[in-house]
């Protein structure tokens, strides 16, 4: 696949021509992105993700462009629901190459990113250097994120950006418990950009309805045969690691002791519609239908919340802040 990196002084123009991912779907297309990342960092992203996914992952690190809303979700959550302590310290759980770590650092918070893949951390450090964020970002290579090398309550904010859905459901509770353990009372757990288990369409892995509610032995052949989102066929339980089974927010809240879902005064549904899907490219009838659907959900949000049923659980994506209430609350 043809790929060129043109040096433009303090920036580089990256162009990929061929079959690649655009808006999380495969297309035969030509894409170009201007970036301040060094050629060394770009080569690291290429080695990790291949040419097919290079532009997609590069755009996740950029502050402008059509994927900038991914980082915007997290930054808005942190701005709307900030930890209360004066010296706030964040943990980015499963930081990958540091896209979400950089979002936290740009807000001025010191942040520790943990990851089990050393190569990803090598690239994350290069990217932090290129963005001038090395003073705020620290990256730690751990053998397992089930047992983090931190004290109880060491962090005021814990970020999981598109993480939990890539952990098989039978193992997920161990990681959830560990994130909650290292979070200080009064701190905030930010669960961002994860597909909802309760939304009827699997938009993350297959773009098909209802398949994520089926047992794996039945879902796998259906997805391999009919899904147009991916060119590949998934063997064994690989679909579970690719995020087929999203997050059930209701179960997550029940799992976390002394947890409280943070809510905006105007409701979380409107935030999701305007900030998460305000620039999806949908127009006309499809956009109007989406707006009408979320309008209805927004109208019932407060009554549902009084019944202990946060409407956030039934949106396509989970983008929430969960407060760990102090024992005195």
| 3-class state of residue 27 by DSSP | strand
**Would you write out the chain's pLDDT as a tens digit for each of its 329 residues?**
688 999 888 899 999 998 887 766 777 888 898 999 999 999 999 999 888 889 888 888 887 655 556 788 899 899 999 998 778 999 999 999 999 999 999 999 999 999 999 999 999 999 999 999 999 999 999 988 889 999 999 999 999 999 999 999 999 999 999 999 999 999 999 999 999 999 999 989 999 999 999 999 999 999 999 998 877 789 999 999 999 999 999 999 999 999 999 988 766 776 666 655 554 445 567 667 767 776 777 778 778 777 778 888 988 999 999 999 998 66
**Cα–Cα distance, 101 to 138 (Å, whole number):** 9
Pairing of strands 317-324, 183-195: antiparallel
β-partners of residue 111 are: 90, 137
- Cβ 310 vs Cβ 300: under 8 Å: no
pTM, rounded to two decimals: 0.91
Q: Which two tokens stand for residue 4?
A: 């060129």
- Cβ 128 vs Cβ 113: under 8 Å: no
- Cβ 207 vs Cβ 201: under 8 Å: yes
Structural domains of the chain in order of their starting residue, each with its CATH number: 3-61 (no CATH), 68-197+246-324 (3.40.50.150), 201-240 (no CATH)
**Cα–Cα distance, 182 to 256 (Å, whole number):** 13
β-partners of residue 183 are: 155
**Cα–Cα distance, 194 to 148 (Å, whole number):** 22
Selection from 252, 203, 253, 260 nearest residue 229 by Cα: 203
**Cα–Cα distance, 158 to 117 (Å, whole number):** 19
Q: What is the pLDDT of residue 279?
A: 47
**Cα–Cα distance, 230 to 234 (Å, whole number):** 10
């Amino acid at each position: 696949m043809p790929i060129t990196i043109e040096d433009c002084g303090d920036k580089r123009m990256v162009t990929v021509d061929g079959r690649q991912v655009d808006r999380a779907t495969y297309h035969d297309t030509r894409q170009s992105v201007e970036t301040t990342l060094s050629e060394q960092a770009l080569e690291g992203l290429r080695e990790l993700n291949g040419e097919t996914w290079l532009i997609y992952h590069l755009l996740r690190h950029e502050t402008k462009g059509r994927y900038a809303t991914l980082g915007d979700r997290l930054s808005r959550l942190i701005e709307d629901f900030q930890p209360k302590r004066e010296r706030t310290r964040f943990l980015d759980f499963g930081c990958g190459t540091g896209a979400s770590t950089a979002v936290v650092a740009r807000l001025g918070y010191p942040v520790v990113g943990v990851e089990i893949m050393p190569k990803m951390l090598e690239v994350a450090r290069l990217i932090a250097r290129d963005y001038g964020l090395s003073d705020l970002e620290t990256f730690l290579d751990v053998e397992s994120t089930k047992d983090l090398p931190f004290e109880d309550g060491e962090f005021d904010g814990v970020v999981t950006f598109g993480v939990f859905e890539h952990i098989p459901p039978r193992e997920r509770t161990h990681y959830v418990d560990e994130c909650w353990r290292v979070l200080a009372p009064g701190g905030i757990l930010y669960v961002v950009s994860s597909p909802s288990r309760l939304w009827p369409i699997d938009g993350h892995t297959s773009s098909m309805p209802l398949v994520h509610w089926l047992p794996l032995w039945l879902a796998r052949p259906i997805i391999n045969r009919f899904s147009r989102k991916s060119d590949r066929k998934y063997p064994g339980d690989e679909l579970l690691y690719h995020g087929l089974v999203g997050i059930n927010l209701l179960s997550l809240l029940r799992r976390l002791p002394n947890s409280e879902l943070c809510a905006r005064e105007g409701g979380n549904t409107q935030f999701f519609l305007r900030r998460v899907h305000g620039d999806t490219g949908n127009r006309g009838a499809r956009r109007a239908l989406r707006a009408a659907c979320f309008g209805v959900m927004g109208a019932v949000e407060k009554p549902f919340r009084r019944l202990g049923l946060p409407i956030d659980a039934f949106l396509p994506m989970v983008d929430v802040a969960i407060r760990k209430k102090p024992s005195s609350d």
